[in-house]
Structure 1
Amino acid sequence: MDENNPRARRRWSRRAMLAGAGGAAAGALTVGAGWWAAGDDAATSTAMLPTADRLGHALLWTTLGTMSGPTGSSARAQPANLLHDGEHAIVVDAGDGMVDQLVKADVALTSVQTVVLSHLHIDHTAGLLGLVGRRLQQFISTPLMVFGPPGTAQEIERIQGSLQGLVELMSTGGRRLPPPSFGITVQEITDGATVTLGPVRLTAATNSHYGFAPGTPEATRFQSLSYRFDMPDRAIVFTGDTGPCPNVERLARGADLLVSEIDDPDAALEQVEATRPDLPAAAIPALREHFDSQHLSATNVGLLARAAGVGAVVLTHNPLDDARIAAARPQIAANFAGPVAVANDLDNW
C-alpha cells in the first residue's frame, strides 16, 4: 500500500490494532478497538487495516460490501468480500459495484485470480458483469477461476454472451489490438467439496437459505453454499446467506473467525411494507417465513457461534441501523461470550 496516497493515510489514521499480543496462538484475536464482547460498552464500528501482516495473519479478509441486498444503501455497498495477500486475491461473492470497491481497497483487477460465489441471488452476482467486462476491455486475459453452486456455469456463459458485441467491436476496424479473451474457467461445487487455492483450502457446505426440502429436485438445482477457508494460521467461515442450519454449524466448528450475515425479521418486513405498499397482504406470511428461517437473527448468530465454538464473529450482509445494532448486541451476547464486530465497507480482518 502506498503510504503517500491520501486515501491510504486516511485509512491508516483510523486503524484498530486487532492482532493478539506476542506469543498468542496463531490466528488468535483479542478484544480491541472495533470489537465488543458481553458486557462491553465499546463502539461497534471497525477500522481499516492496510495489510495482512499488520493483523498478524498471512491473508487478509476484506469486507468490500456489507449491505444486505438487493435493497440499496448510501452507506454500504452490495455484498462482496476479498481474501488476499501479495500473491492471491480471492473474491467471495460479487455484489453490484464490487470492482469499484476493489479500487477503493487498492487491489488491482489483474490480481484477482479466483471468484467464489455462495449463491446466485442478484445481490451476490451483479458485480460479475463488471468484473468480466472490465477485464475484457482492459485486455486482461490471465486465468480467472470461478467456483459456485450449480447454475454458475450458465451464469458466466450468459454474461459472456451479453458481451459479444463488445468483443466484436474491439476486434474490428483495423485497430491492431490483440483479440480479447475472457480467460474464464468455471467449476461448480456442492456440499462437501474441497478445493485448494494456493495456501487456502476451501470447503463448501449447503445451507438453508433457499428453504427447499432436502432431496427434492428444487434442492438439487438451486443451492446456497457456506464456505470454510482453512489457512496456515487460521480458519475463517463465511455463512453467505443462510438460516439456522446444522450443516453450517458443522462447517464452522472450531473456526477462528465466523463472518456471518445478520438480519432482523421485524425490520425487514417494516422496510418491505414501507417501500412496497402495493404488495398483496397474502405475500406477507411467506416473506415472514423467509426472514425467520432463511436468514440469521441476532439470537441465531449467537447460537451458531456458541455451538460451533468459534473464536470471534464479524457481522456483515447487514441491513440494521444503529439502533437495531444496539438492540442486537445483548441478543448475541446472551448466547456467545466471545468478541463480535460489525463490519463496514473496506474493513479488514
Structure 2
Amino acid sequence: MTRTYLPLDAADAAKYRTRVTLLGTAGGPPWWDGSDRTGISTAITVNDAVYLIDCGEGWGPQFRKSGLGPAGFQKGLDNMRAVFITHHHSDHMVDYPNLLLLAWHNGSDGLKQPIQIHGPGDRGALPPIFAEEKREFLPEVFHPESPTPGLVESSEKLLQAYALDINDRMRDNAKQDLREIFEFHDIELPAGTGDDPNGNPTPGMEPFEIYRDDNVRVTAILVDHRPVFPAFAFRFDTPDGAIVISGDTGVCGNLVTISEGADILLHECIDMDWVDGLMGPDSPKPDPNLMQHMLAAHTAIEEVGPQAEKAGVGTLVLTHLVPGNTPPEKWQKAQIGFSGNLVVGEDLMHFGLGEPRD
C-alpha cells in the first residue's frame, strides 16, 4: 500500500533524503495571461544530488529560488548529477541552451563530474502532414540534411551555434572545456521498438533502464504524444520510494505500466473546455490542425484520475497545466475516478519521500 504525500515548504522538504520539486508547472509554448507559472521543469533530489527533468522556460531562475543548489556567487549546479528530456517539443527544451552555456558561471571551480544528459534519439522519419489533402501549400522540409535530430546531434549543434562565446570564454577566461562538463546520450529503444513511428508509436512494452547510480534507478517507456516520437515517461526508483513523470501524453497503457505502485505520479493535464472554446468547430476561429493534436496527444482533466487509479499510485500531482491560467478548482475535478491523494501542482512546490532525517 503506497503512502500519500502532501506539499511541504522548502525548509521542511530539506529534511528528507529524497524530495521532488516542481520548478515550473505550465505547459505549452504560449505565455499565459494572468498566470505566474513558469515553463515545465522538475527536480528530484536524492542525498543532495539533483536530477533535472526537462528545461522549460525559466527553469534556471526557478532552480535558484528552490534552494536545491549551493548558494553564492557562481554556485548552484555543483550537485547536479543528470538531466532527462522527455521529448523534443520546444516548451520542454527552450531553456536547455541555458544549462549548457551558463554552467560555467553557476558551478564553482569546475563541476565535480560530467553532468549526464539523456534524451530522445533521432525520430528516424518525418511525421506525416496532417490533412495533407486539404492543404493549399505543403511545408518544405526544414534542414533536410538532418530533419529529425536526436539529443546528441542537437546538443552538438547548439554548442557549434555558440562557438564565438565558447571560444572567447575558454581563451580569455580560462574556462573549462564544456565537453568535459557534459556527456550527451540518446536514449536507445529496445530492439524492434519504434521501427514505425508513424504507425504505432506506443506499442505495449515494459519499462527499460536508461540510467543508474548510487542514488537512483531511472527507467523509461514510450508514451503517446503523436506525432512527436520518441516521447518518454520516466520512473525514478529511490531508496525512499518511486516517482513517475508522465511527460506529454494522451491516455496510454504504457503510462499505467510504468506507474504501477509509484508513490508519486506527476501527470500532465489539459482543460478541454478551454481547447474547445478556443479552437473547436463552434469557436470564433476553428483550428482543426491544433485541435486534433490537443485531443490525441494530451490527457483531459476527467481522464487523469482513472489512469492514476489503474496504476495504484498514492499521490497524483498535476503539472504541465494547459492553459496555465485555468482556476485551481477546475483542476480538482481530476479527483473523479481516483481514490488517492490529488495535488494541483504549483511552481516551487516540494514533496518529501520516506521519513525526515534527524
TM value normalised by structure 1: 0.76
Match of 2:39 in 1: 78
- Aligned pair count reads 290
Q: Could you say what the CA RMSD is over the residues aligned between the two structures, in angstroms?
A: 2.5
Counterpart of 1:126 (choices 83, 91, 94) is: 94
Residue ranges of structure 2 left out of the alignment (5+ in a row): 70-75, 122-149, 191-206, 352-358
1:64 and 2:23 aligned: yes
1:144 and 2:115 aligned: yes
- Asked if the contact 1:137–1:180 (Cα under 8 Å) also holds between the matched residues in 2, the reply is no
**Aligned partners of 2:176 and 2:264: how far apart in 1?**
43
SS at structure 2 position matched to 1:318 = strand
Counterpart of 1:184 (choices 182, 185, 191) is: 182
Match of 1:201 in 2: 217
1:243 and 2:243 aligned: no
Residue ranges of structure 1 left out of the alignment (5+ in a row): 1-24, 33-45, 213-221
Match of 1:170 in 2: 169
| Cα deviation digits, residues 219-276 of structure 1 (max 9, x gap) | xxx3100011111121111101100011111111111111111101231354568xx9
Match of 1:98 in 2: 59
Match of 2:337 in 1: 335
Cα pair distance change 1:311/1:179, threshold 3 Å: closer
Cα pair distance change 1:269/1:112, threshold 3 Å: farther
**Aligned partners of 2:236 and 2:176: how far apart in 1?**
36
**Aligned partners of 1:339 and 1:164: how far apart in 2?**
48
- Asked if the contact 2:55–2:92 (Cα under 8 Å) also holds between the matched residues in 1, the reply is yes
Letter of the 1:257 partner, please give it: I
**Aligned partners of 1:176 and 1:233: how far apart in 2?**
42
Between the two structures, name the one with larger relative contact order (CA 8 Å, sep ≥ 6).
2
Q: Which structure has the highest strand share of the two?
A: 2
Letter of the 1:96 partner, please give it: E
**Aligned partners of 1:86 and 1:231: how far apart in 2?**
10
SS at structure 2 position matched to 1:186 = strand
Counterpart of 1:304 (choices 307, 317, 330) is: 307
- Asked if the contact 1:79–1:317 (Cα under 8 Å) also holds between the matched residues in 2, the reply is yes
**Aligned partners of 1:181 and 1:322: how far apart in 2?**
38
Letter of the 2:314 partner, please give it: G
CA offset at residue 85 of structure 1?
Answer: 3.7
Counterpart of 1:114 (choices 73, 82, 85) is: 82
Letter of the 1:97 partner, please give it: G
- Asked if the contact 2:27–2:324 (Cα under 8 Å) also holds between the matched residues in 1, the reply is no
**Aligned partners of 1:171 and 1:95: how far apart in 2?**
27
- Asked if the contact 2:331–2:344 (Cα under 8 Å) also holds between the matched residues in 1, the reply is no
Counterpart of 2:226 (choices 207, 210, 220) is: 210
CA offset at residue 62 of structure 1?
Answer: 0.3
SS at structure 2 position matched to 1:210 = coil
Letter of the 1:94 partner, please give it: C
- Asked if the contact 2:17–2:47 (Cα under 8 Å) also holds between the matched residues in 1, the reply is no
CA offset at residue 86 of structure 1?
Answer: 4.5
Cα pair distance change 1:129/1:28, threshold 3 Å: same
**Aligned partners of 2:153 and 2:169: how far apart in 1?**
24
**Aligned partners of 2:54 and 2:326: how far apart in 1?**
28
Which deviates more from structure 2 when the two are superposed, residues 140-149 or residues 230-239? 140-149
| Cα deviation digits, residues 69-92 of structure 1 (max 9, x gap) | 211234100000100144311101
The percentage of aligned residue pairs carrying the same residue is 26
